[in-house]
Structure 1
Amino acid sequence: MPILSVVVPFHDVEEYLGPCLDSLTTQTLRDIEVICVDDGSRDGGPAVVEARWAADPRVRLVRQAGGGVGRARNLGVRHATGRYLAFVDGDDLVPRDAFRRLVASLESTGSDLACGNVMRLHRDQLVPSWAHRQAFARRLERTHITRHPLLVRDRMLWNKVYRRSFWDALALTFPERLYEDQPVAMAAHVGATSVDVLKAVVYHWRRRDWSVTQRSLEPGNVRDRLLSVLETATLLARRAPGVKRRFDRDTLDIDMSVAVAAVARTGPATDPALLDLAARYLDGVAPEDWLSLPYRRRLLTHLLHRRRVEELAAVYAEEREGRLRPPLASTGFGLGGRRWYGRHPALPAHLSEVTDELDLETRLLSTGWRDGLLRGEGWMSVGRFDARSLGRARVRVWLRERCTGDTVPLSEDRVMPASLGLPQEDGGVAAEHGFPFGFAFDPATLSPARLARRGHWELRVELRAGGLRLEAKVAGPRWLPPAVPPPVRRAGSWLVPVRAGKGVWGLRVRGAEALIGECRIEGGDLLVAGELTDPGDGEPVLRLIRRGDGEEVYFPATLDGHVFSGRIRLGDIEPPVGRVPRWDVLLDQGRKLRPLVRTRARPAATVAGRRFVADRGDDGCLMLVEHCPPMENQR
């Protein structure tokens, strides 16, 4: 009898199955059996397994003529003979020491199951799984989901090892549908006497463009998702009611958003049985948990709950197009102060409160140096609400230094609410109700002591109106105008207007050993040129360092006296994983220099379908950014 049985269902994943089996057969825990269940594959996957079986008797092949991953897992469990049980999907990978860690923990503690952290795998790069990051932030032994409720997000099977006697005692089986893992994983967490939580990463979860989770809006997919939600909610209500509220908040946020999008897309043709499933689940959600949803999603989910499909589709379209701007109102003071509500005829008053989600959405409309001053005009709105009822407002703008909290006042005005059509990132224009603001910064206000600190000053704004007081950094969509003004020199320091990664505007005070005066696109290349204060010895190179994982790419540069130039071949840069990968561009001549960008240009190029923009980082230095599609929701 082996120590561990690993069940691997697979269907048409020939491309990934070999690496998956490699990761299993090279585990440091050698005493395992790998039961591969072919779920009616039409590619060469079964042949891959047969070849491994011939080379390694620990690998076995079991076949079924389709029926889905739930049935395949059940079949694999029936063939498993180990003291412990684990599951791996045929397109994923398992770190080499994962099973040894998990089994050793169970042997040490006597817990019923052990689970560990997860990374998302895309191409050859790994990023943390948001669903697991918090729950597995630290190691916990002999815990339980009722004592560590963040485990309610640990709804997948494959980052775990189960004691087989425990599995059989609970008579766990998989439903034969999609999302079959959630109710089983939750039943195991709830039914366990104790659970071990490992901080170590034990699973690499592959993201594929056409995997189950990416086909989330298909009606059958939504039906299976809702069935699993209902089954899990019923289990938690009966066995772990204290955990159900956390489950409901996550489910409202994720699963109900998917259901809303699917119903809005299908409209009146939506299957009534699907609406019934959504309504049955929402019937059991506590009123206070509804308020955990942002107002707009609360409104859409309420329409789903009441089966008002045509109205849901209309409101969903308004939201997508930026036209949903409910009026903001206050009914006076309640517990903790004044209470605020969004008004929409479809949403009842008890679901309309927005007090805790009100914030300022800000953006600059223009900025630049004029007459020696850095001037700007901007716009702010109260969330995405129509705040005209607030009336005349007091607006204050200032700079605040990050490290010291020191402030430089810029303006204070009284303004009336207005309406304005604002450009959007998709190229459209959306009407907003809000308040204008303006400012002027005089570099002379920065004393020698302030200049010597070489600090980062953030641009901030405050709104006071109708009993409401809100404060925010001035930010906005990074890829829309205005362009970042060039730096200016004052008393030996450079004053650098900057726009940080999240679009936050500010001012950096810094020195500069290298300056970029030219930055342009030529063909598929980015050409940069500038000056060094100290040319040093030897030829420099342009060194690109990707934020997040430190990946580096090098390109040659030339030096003629104090003048340097280089060419970055954009097509040679590795394709990204995240939504907005950023590369810091350094000049390396035995020491790393961050060249300050003096030009206003933000040249852009599309190379082999990839969109690159040369921009400034939040220190005013050159940063290369690639736009790419967002990663899909993980469930």
Structure 2
Amino acid sequence: MPALVTVVVPVFDVEDYLPECLDSLARQTWRGLELVLVDDGSTDGSAAIAAGWAARDDRFRLLRQDNRGLGAARNVGLDHGTGEYLMFVDSDDVLPPYAVEVLVGALERTGSDFASGNVALLTGQGLRQSWLHRGTHRTTRLGISLRDQPNLVYDRLACNKVFRRSFWTGHRLRFPEGIRYEDIPVTIPAYAVARQVDVLDLPVYYWRQRPPGAVRSLSQRQDEVPNLVDRFAAVTSASRSLARLAEPELKRWYDESALRSDLRMFLDLLPVVDDAYRRRFLDLTVDFLAGVDESVLDRLAPRLRVAWRLARERALPELLAVLAVGPAGQPSTVVRRGLRRYLDLPLLDAGHPAVPRRAYRAPGGVRTEVHEARWVGNRLLVRGLAYDVSRGAARPWQPIRLLWLRAPARRWRRMLPLPTRVHPTGGVHATGGTEPPGADGRQPGAGWAGFSTLVDPRRLRGRGGWAIGDWSFLVLLVGAGRPRPGMLAVGDARPALPARWVDAGVRVVPFVRSGRLWLRVERPGARVTGVRVAEKALLVEGVAGRRPAPGTTVCLSRVTGVVGRAYPVLPTGAGPVDGCWTARVPLEDLVADSGLVDGDARPVGDGPAATGGRAVLVGEAGAGWRVALAEPGAEPVELPVPADFTGVRQVLGPVELMARPTDDGVLWLRVLPPGPVAAGAELADGTLVLTGGLPSDGEGWAELRILLRHRESGTPTGPPLPDLVLPAEVRGAWWSVRIPLTGADGPADGDWVPLYRRRSDEMPVDLPFDVSARRMLPRDVNVGIRRLELLPDREREVVRLGPRPA
């Protein structure tokens, strides 16, 4: 029997959203669930909905109480739960089917105190990455602590985590009652006292963002004084708990994060709120900053340094003057005073006793960001930006960029210089925002911050053979002042990082570690030689350096390092040293674990006809597994595929199985609704032409439409842009569509997600791209007066359009 997980769901006046929430809980692939629903005095139909679930599914229990708030409801649910693990879900949010499985699976493997997964924002237009978790959950890291990854202090949600009950009760954790923002006073101390935690990059929680006109959620009512008071109370409680734990460095990390995010939102509201709100804000700020180390203010961005110091002194007119220049985190004009550079903010020259001039100093350092990594012929093209933040890159020679690769082992002692070209950027397209030259010429422009380099893999070997190991990219900026070294960072919009076989048994794999780009030269100990469907199973065939030991298995993992299922490996070679093997993965396991159908492979839910089951949300990661080989007592080793591997597609009743390589060349299995898959891409005469195949003979797809949806539309910040709907030409089992990129019929500037819809009455679904299409896509080209970029976003593509660089 699987370990029992208690899931606590407080319920209060959410009748419009509760059915979807509870349905997502009932469909979890982890079967050992105890679902405790706590009706917190609902005045609508929520209690009746919850009672209906409890009556027809014995995993659900309903408790009732007078309205006491979210914290009290969670505590009551905890007191009535019996599970070995604990999870909390808000009743207007949704879990993907695999959420509990991967979180508990990580804990069962590592023994950590709790596991935290990535979060996606659920809007009317689909899913998009939570900005709060973009940096914290960029990569999977198992068995780490807050000291290993300090930015985890930004992960304040309780609902994207599974806790061990022994950890929870051992540290006497309880949610505060009578205030809002209950998560912060619990999650921050939990991170501080945890022996180790698991951080997963896969989204495990869909955090609903209610649309304009709907009843606003708590996080959407920041302009109300009670929310201001409760947020400060929660942040102050967490900060003081770290002080009581005698963790000064952890406290400084947390205080800095609060001033950058949790509390900054109120700072940005000051120009538009009334005087009573402003006075309360200043009172709370003075109280909070009294317990904050002065060094924390010095680590903030210049505008925040100035703003918080003015707020601490209640200098409201001066504070409003600084905020009038723009939001507190926005870049500003840089000016010189003597030999130093400063932000041109109010009071820079007039001065203020509370704000020393050093607070205005412009940030320095090397800024780098990789935008693209792809193979051009037999060489790896790396493209991005690199410049000195304080000095800019307004001219091609300012500064000079030098790149190297550093060898992985001391015995090599090699630094390989790389040929580097400089490119215009037309404004820095980076996750930190655009930073064009100021109109008055005073701001250091970054119009020539772009660079590209080509890496020839043949240079990664010496007289003794290939330099196996991890090579790091180094960059040196040479210009006015001392040379500035750095490494190549990868931004939030991470590019595809394709692997390549470069020799018999040798691969070069670009990858990201700690937010930076590396190259790995490896000799895989095992690899896949073929995949096929036969006898109601997926047969995975491969070869290893030696005959597989008894007990060797092929493992399927939704998250790297967290094994979901394992299947025996059978040697097929004739001799004792022959390393050929095969493994049999039952198709019914893949279908049942997909979350699209129930355990008996029957459709569930009220999803569109195209899925034959539950509705698949736009942007959903879906059911996917990386495939690895594990010998007894050893860590699983992911299985690369041959360079000519084309993959497998097989319709299995209401779903379709795809077996294909990931960008880094590892065998990847995915179950998704049967539908079109883009297999080819071509750019001609300002039009992007996509082509691909359809399930079976294409019957029933005559009304196929391809859609482009703006990625940031449908959020609370504004009304959604309309989808661009294009009819596809269907011929038998093949389809094609023409997407105009110029003229009035094309999409506006921005990021657009390709979708498809079988009929007009169905929900759209992400359009998958197979390996050949991803390799054919024009990644970064000029189309007339516009710039086209194709950006990977997990297993889908995003079309980015913008002005052509000057």
The TM-score, its normalising length taken from structure 2, stands at 0.48
| 1:187 aligned partner, one-letter code | P
What's the CA shift string for 1:234-288, capped at 9, x where partnerless? Answer: 1223323222222222212112321212333335333644423212222333333
Where 1:162 maps in the other structure, the secondary structure is: strand
8 A contact 1:581–1:625 mirrored in 2:
yes
More helix by share: 1
The alpha-carbon deviation at position 557 of structure 1 amounts to 7.0
1:222 counterpart residue number: 228
Matches within 5 A, 1:72-471: 72-123=73-124, 125-136=126-137, 137-141=139-143, 143-175=144-176, 176-209=178-211, 210-239=216-245, 240-266=247-273, 268-270=275-277, 272-319=279-326, 327-330=335-338, 332=339, 343-344=348-349, 345-346=351-352, 347-356=355-364, 432=440, 434=442
The alpha-carbon deviation at position 135 of structure 1 amounts to 3.6
Where 2:180 maps in the other structure, the secondary structure is: coil
Could you say if the C-alpha distance between residues 327 and 69 of structure 1 is closer, same or farther in structure 2, counting changes exceeding 3 Å? same
8 A contact 1:4–1:82 mirrored in 2:
yes
The alpha-carbon deviation at position 582 of structure 1 amounts to 5.9
What's the CA shift string for 1:340-366, capped at 9, x where partnerless? Answer: 57525233224232251799xxxxxxx
The alpha-carbon deviation at position 115 of structure 1 amounts to 2.5
| 1:230 aligned partner, one-letter code | T
CA distance in 1, matches of 2:336, 2:184: 39
The alpha-carbon deviation at position 80 of structure 1 amounts to 1.9
The alpha-carbon deviation at position 230 of structure 1 amounts to 0.8
CA distance in 1, matches of 2:96, 2:337: 54
CA distance in 2, matches of 1:431, 1:150: 35
8 A contact 1:219–1:262 mirrored in 2:
no
8 A contact 2:706–2:754 mirrored in 1:
no
8 A contact 2:13–2:46 mirrored in 1:
yes
Could you say if the C-alpha distance between residues 204 and 408 of structure 1 is closer, same or farther in structure 2, counting changes exceeding 3 Å? closer
CA distance in 2, matches of 1:60, 1:47: 13
Could you say if the C-alpha distance between residues 328 and 227 of structure 1 is closer, same or farther in structure 2, counting changes exceeding 3 Å? farther
| 2:287 aligned partner, one-letter code | R
The alpha-carbon deviation at position 49 of structure 1 amounts to 0.8
The alpha-carbon deviation at position 52 of structure 1 amounts to 0.7
Could you say if the C-alpha distance between residues 431 and 468 of structure 1 is closer, same or farther in structure 2, counting changes exceeding 3 Å? farther
The alpha-carbon deviation at position 227 of structure 1 amounts to 1.0
1:502 counterpart residue number: none
What's the CA shift string for 1:446-487, capped at 9, x where partnerless? Answer: xxxxxxxxxxxxxxxx9999x7999xxxxxxxxxxxxxxxxx
Q: Identity percentage over the alignment?
A: 35
CA distance in 1, matches of 2:801, 2:41: 40
Where 2:10 maps in the other structure, the secondary structure is: strand
8 A contact 1:29–1:100 mirrored in 2:
yes
Could you say if the C-alpha distance between residues 135 and 408 of structure 1 is closer, same or farther in structure 2, counting changes exceeding 3 Å? closer
8 A contact 1:547–1:584 mirrored in 2:
no
Unaligned runs of 5+ in 1: 333-337, 360-381, 388-392, 411-424, 440-461, 471-511, 520-527, 530-540, 559-563, 602-614, 628-635
CA distance in 1, matches of 2:782, 2:161: 53
CA distance in 1, matches of 2:324, 2:218: 26
2:538 counterpart residue number: none
The alpha-carbon deviation at position 146 of structure 1 amounts to 3.3
- Tell me if 1:555 matches 2:727: yes
CA distance in 2, matches of 1:264, 1:185: 31
Could you say if the C-alpha distance between residues 357 and 266 of structure 1 is closer, same or farther in structure 2, counting changes exceeding 3 Å? farther
CA distance in 2, matches of 1:324, 1:553: 39
CA distance in 2, matches of 1:565, 1:111: 49
Where 2:226 maps in the other structure, the secondary structure is: helix
8 A contact 1:398–1:409 mirrored in 2:
no
1:474 counterpart residue number: none
Return the index of the structure with the highest Cα Rg. Answer: 1
The alpha-carbon deviation at position 231 of structure 1 amounts to 0.9
| 1:555 aligned partner, one-letter code | P
- Tell me if 1:516 matches 2:518: no
8 A contact 1:263–1:309 mirrored in 2:
no
8 A contact 1:122–1:206 mirrored in 2:
yes
8 A contact 1:84–1:164 mirrored in 2:
yes
CA distance in 2, matches of 1:33, 1:435: 58
Could you say if the C-alpha distance between residues 328 and 90 of structure 1 is closer, same or farther in structure 2, counting changes exceeding 3 Å? same
Where 1:270 maps in the other structure, the secondary structure is: helix
Equivalenced residues, count: 466
CA distance in 2, matches of 1:263, 1:123: 29
1:492 counterpart residue number: none
Let me know the Cα RMSD of the aligned residues.
5.4
8 A contact 1:36–1:49 mirrored in 2:
yes
Where 2:18 maps in the other structure, the secondary structure is: helix
Where 2:273 maps in the other structure, the secondary structure is: helix
CA distance in 2, matches of 1:514, 1:112: 51
Matches within 5 A, 1:448-597: 515-516=684-685, 554-556=726-728, 580-581=751-752
8 A contact 1:394–1:463 mirrored in 2:
no
What's the CA shift string for 1:513-533, capped at 9, x where partnerless? Answer: 86537x9xxxxxxxx99xxxx
8 A contact 2:787–2:801 mirrored in 1:
no
| 1:258 aligned partner, one-letter code | M
8 A contact 2:223–2:273 mirrored in 1:
no
The alpha-carbon deviation at position 216 of structure 1 amounts to 2.0
The alpha-carbon deviation at position 158 of structure 1 amounts to 1.1
- Tell me if 1:617 matches 2:788: yes
CA distance in 2, matches of 1:206, 1:580: 21
Could you say if the C-alpha distance between residues 57 and 555 of structure 1 is closer, same or farther in structure 2, counting changes exceeding 3 Å? same
Where 2:325 maps in the other structure, the secondary structure is: helix
8 A contact 1:119–1:126 mirrored in 2:
yes
| 2:5 aligned partner, one-letter code | L
CA distance in 2, matches of 1:177, 1:197: 28
CA distance in 1, matches of 2:781, 2:396: 32
Could you say if the C-alpha distance between residues 158 and 329 of structure 1 is closer, same or farther in structure 2, counting changes exceeding 3 Å? same
